């Protein structure tokens, strides 16, 4: 993908250096106790609990990860500019999401976020959460390397933010409560629509000619890698379609491609008559 490294998005919050919580505060007495324990254990236990400063200022970023952070920033901003334009065409105003980078775990309005959950969107605080370690897993475990595979993940989570802004997410949650027997089916519809929305951004990048050869294939591999059937097979379990919550590999590729080729918001109706 053609992009120029440099700078960070104003919508990016980096919590990786704050012990997973973005900076925790304790009283004077607690700081004194932590100071004593630091001397005993010869380890700085005070700094992670100090408030003040921006999340970026509190974060020591390994040099080899800075390019990844800048790429995430680029994709985040480019996604959101695209959605601002799409919303404007329909007479609506797009509200930007924040993207939070964390390591191991962090607090969210949806409860505790952990690396094992993978990237996720929390409608309660309108934040996307990503541990960059997931990209290593995407490449090494799932066989989906390439920057555009990483970009697909961000675009998918921003797709969930779009669902939240359009009221789709709230409507689906109500339907899941009213029809518990259709809970998984409705969840699959939500995830496939987020894939289709990710494809809409892909369509925009293709129109602007910033894709490199093989980028679309990278995104398709990523979509296939996180299909429920593929994950179940990799876990040594039998394929169980009734337990799917995100859709099969074929479905995820199909709906990503539909958004990519159509460039149409209306084409992303994954719920049919539901």
The whole-model pTM stands at 0.82
> Virtual CA dihedral for 119, 122, 128, 133, nearest 10 degrees?
-30
Alpha-carbon span 201 to 116, nearest angstrom: 27
Which pLDDT belongs to residue 138? 81
On whether the CB atoms of residues 246 and 261 are closer than 8 A, the answer is no
What count of other Cβ atoms lies within 10 Å of the Cβ of residue 126? Answer: 15
Distance separating alpha carbons of residues 240 and 151, to the nearest angstrom: 29
Give the pairing of strands 111-114 and 105-108: antiparallel
Q: In this predicted model, what pLDDT tens digit does every residue of 105-120 receive, in sequence order?
A: 999 999 999 988 999 9
Query: What confidence score (pLDDT) does residue 32 get?
Result: 53
**Confidence class of residue 63 from pLDDT cuts 50, 70 and 90?**
low
């Amino acid at each position: 993908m053609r992009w120029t490294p440099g700078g960070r998005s104003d919508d990016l919050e980096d919590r990786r250096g704050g012990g997973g919580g973005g900076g925790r505060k304790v009283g004077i007495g607690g700081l004194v106790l932590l100071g004593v324990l630091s001397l005993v254990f010869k380890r700085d236990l005070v700094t992670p609990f100090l408030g003040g400063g921006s999340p970026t200022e509190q974060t020591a970023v390994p040099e080899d990860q800075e390019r990844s952070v800048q790429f995430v920033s680029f994709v985040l901003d480019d996604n959101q500019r695209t959605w601002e334009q799409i919303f404007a065409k329909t007479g609506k105003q797009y509200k930007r999401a924040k993207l939070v980078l964390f390591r191991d775990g962090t607090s969210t309005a949806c409860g505790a976020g952990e690396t094992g959950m993978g990237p996720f969107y929390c409608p309660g605080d309108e934040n996307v959460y990503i541990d960059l370690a997931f990209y290593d897993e995407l490449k090494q475990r799932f066989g989906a390397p390439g920057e555009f595979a990483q970009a697909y993940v961000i675009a998918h989570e921003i797709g969930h933010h779009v669902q939240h802004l359009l009221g789709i997410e709230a409507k689906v949650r109500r339907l899941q409560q009213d029809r518990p027997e259709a809970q998984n089916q409705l969840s699959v519809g939500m995830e496939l629509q987020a894939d289709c929305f990710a494809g809409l951004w892909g369509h925009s990048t293709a129109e602007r000619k910033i894709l490199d050869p093989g980028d679309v294939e990278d995104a398709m591999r990523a979509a296939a890698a996180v299909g429920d059937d593929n994950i179940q097979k990799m876990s040594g379990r039998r394929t169980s379609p009734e337990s799917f919550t995100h859709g099969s590999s074929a479905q995820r590729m199909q709906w990503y491609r539909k958004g990519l080729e159509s460039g149409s918001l209306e084409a992303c109706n994954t719920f049919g008559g539901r």
